[in-house]
Structure 1
């Protein structure tokens, strides 16, 4: 039975023919470049297929780079946030130091105006009881602090030392209800007593006659009559003058000039001679024990 199709050359012959044709094409292309156009056409045809084959790997690389970029950005953002917090904290310290330097400059200017021996002290604690107007300083008898010593801030009189320990001391503020200070009106020399009012944080002028020349805005300064505070230190400004028919005296309220609730540094003043200082110490020691200290 004859086969329907002629099987043709054997496989070995076919391979040899294919190799010879390939060699011939390579030689012809090398010398004559006849296949350049064909190669260009085939590259245009296969380019979309190459893009399609490379797209998954490209997407994977882009996703990995995007995730890596997000991690880098997240790390950079975290670092910048921390650095921002640190800079803000340092800025707060700089602002605090700047304010402290301003206060110290004010105190230095006040000490030059005082013209006496002075010592800068810092407030350590504030009495929290509403009817006690006292603060504690970080200077005591080891620094020469003594009972009755005047205490000022950069603006005016704050109070006086009522208790002195080796390393600390207690100041009775002029607004305490147990404190009274001889003052005079700077405008006309009218003398009176400025007594503390406690929780009101004001001063009340005692025994002002109704015909006295005193006005709102008058500056009150120390008169020096008590032998402790030298004369001429600012104390307060008059803010209320009221005539009460039932009161034989004029009601006068003054606001302290010192920043009693804001000052952190104060001036301790040595303004007494030795005799007056001994008298002050003797008077302090002779006080009855039941009197507030």
Structure 2
């Protein structure tokens, strides 16, 4: 059954005729455009007119594509930012490492320069860590007895003295810094030559010159160097700079100094392995005590007048016996004394003191006993003490 519109609404040509007419027009236009290029202006005008409609039609597609590209771009940017941050951190670490290497290089160059300027041999050491006791000022170095470190060696840097080796282990050593409260170093004022001893003040990081006279020639800004009189530190090494001088009314003044060396900044130090050679101390002189003979001669050379005292004689008329067994007479004592002619009798009141401690002076003896007492006169120049005999 063929469908067709009602005759009332049927108008114009048929659809087949219209298709054929439009097809012929299209073919003619295509032929005219391709062969004669006659429709280019028309095509441009139509494109210009239809461009807004075309953009309006493409808006939904562009919106969808824009949203997708936005989120993809956001994620890619976030990832790129993270990568850049990691690169920045790595670059910062490398820069800090390079700065550290640069600082160490500069310090090592200065230490090498100081090593050439310091007399004697020295050894480069690196600080490993601080000591465990927080109340002391000590550090641990990576050099020990296996490398030739000995107890008491001084430690310096390129600016001055740092401390002294106080403990030594096989592969490490302990250094007590100058600022430790139990550390002291002999110093000398470079300007005036005044010598003193600098003591550490502990956690304050400064030094103190104790027992200084109130009128001592010390000024703010003076440089203190090692005096070298202790035999440990070589003379002429920089130690500290005077920062405060207080002249009190008491017996001593107060002088505060700031160390010149990098006590808390350096990581590499120099250990002076050769200490200055000092001549040995001379031996102490023995105190020579005077012998008994010299003492007796001295006592005999200095006569002293003793008062005459009557002595009780025994029944036989003999004089009293002394502890030595023979009592000197006045004539014998006069012969022993310098400036007295032997044989000349002396009064009993002027009898000299006995030459020995065991003898006691007596009164003048009878004339018969005088020749017997004057017999030992030739030994008057150096009288020998008589041996003590038991009294009979």
TM-score category, normalised to shorter length = 0.7 to 0.9
SS at match of 2:272: strand
Structure-1 residue corresponding to 2:261: 258
Q: How far apart, CA to CA, are the structure 1 residues paired with 2:46 and 2:145?
A: 104
Structure 2 residue 174 is the aligned partner of structure 1 residue 170: yes
1:269-293: CA deviations, max 9, x gaps? 12326899xx9xxxxxxxxxxxxxx
Structure-2 residue corresponding to 1:284: none
Q: How far apart, CA to CA, are the structure 2 residues paired with 1:193 and 1:40?
A: 105
- RMSD between aligned alpha carbons? 3.2
Q: 1:228 to 1:28 in 2, by over 3 A?
A: closer
Structure-1 residue corresponding to 2:273: 270
Q: TM-score, normalised by structure 2?
A: 0.61
8 Å contact kept, 1:130–1:199? no
SS at match of 2:179: coil
SS at match of 2:99: helix
5+ residue gaps, structure 1, are 280-293
Matches within 5 A, 1:130-209: 130-209=134-213
CA drift at 1:146:
0.5
Structure-2 residue corresponding to 1:78: 82
Q: How far apart, CA to CA, are the structure 1 residues paired with 2:51 and 2:198?
A: 101
Q: 1:90 to 1:6 in 2, by over 3 A?
A: same
1:170-190: CA deviations, max 9, x gaps? 011122222221111111221
Structure-2 residue corresponding to 1:236: 240
Q: How far apart, CA to CA, are the structure 1 residues paired with 2:158 and 2:43?
A: 94
Q: 1:245 to 1:15 in 2, by over 3 A?
A: closer
User: How many corresponding residue pairs?
Assistant: 272
8 Å contact kept, 1:242–1:250? yes
1:184-210: CA deviations, max 9, x gaps? 111122111112222332222233233
5+ residue gaps, structure 2, are 282-392
Larger Rg: 2
More strand by share: 1
Q: How far apart, CA to CA, are the structure 1 residues paired with 2:151 and 2:215?
A: 38
More helix by share: 1
Q: How far apart, CA to CA, are the structure 1 residues paired with 2:257 and 2:42?
A: 108
Q: 1:156 to 1:24 in 2, by over 3 A?
A: closer
Q: 1:100 aligns with which of 91, 97, 104?
A: 104
Matches within 5 A, 1:49-88: 49-88=53-92
1:119-177: CA deviations, max 9, x gaps? 11111122364531211111111111100001012211111101110110001112222
SS at match of 1:155: coil
Higher relative contact order (CA 8 A, sep 6+): 1
8 Å contact kept, 2:233–2:276? no
CA drift at 1:27:
4.4
Q: 1:128 to 1:55 in 2, by over 3 A?
A: same
1:29-49: CA deviations, max 9, x gaps? 34556x958877776665554
Q: How far apart, CA to CA, are the structure 2 residues paired with 1:218 and 1:161?
A: 27
Structure-2 residue corresponding to 1:287: none
Q: 1:31 to 1:132 in 2, by over 3 A?
A: closer
